[in-house]
Amino acid sequence: MKAIDLKKDLNKYLLDKERHISDDKMKNVCLIANGSKACKYIMMFKKNGFVCAKRTPMSEVLDSMANKNEITAKSDNCEGLGSYDKKEKGTEDDTKN
């Protein structure tokens, strides 16, 4: 697992307003407070509230923690939120065909 540069890499994603999770989405899609059914990519970030950490440098850490039962949330409930690099978008589009 590579080291995460919190000031550069991770903050770029966590400060992305498109990654903010609305209350409605938290309840109906992310399934917050639903044990193992809750999405493992939910992160709380300062006063910005909850953000989606899927497809960020933190994803690998959260996947590992879920696999080791270090966190209760285990699910991957949607495509994720936020902007992605063109390379990542191309990869996503290729998997849908």
Residue 16 has pLDDT above 90, yes or no: no
Report domain extents, the chain: 6-96
Residue 50 belongs to what H/E stretch?
strand 50-52
What is the pTM (predicted TM-score) of this model?
0.76
Write the pLDDT tens digit of every residue in 17-67: 899 999 999 999 999 999 999 999 999 877 768 999 999 888 999 999 999
Residue 19 DSSP SS3: helix
Match 């065909």 to its residue by tokens: 97
Q: How far apart are CA 31 and CA 35, in angstroms?
A: 8
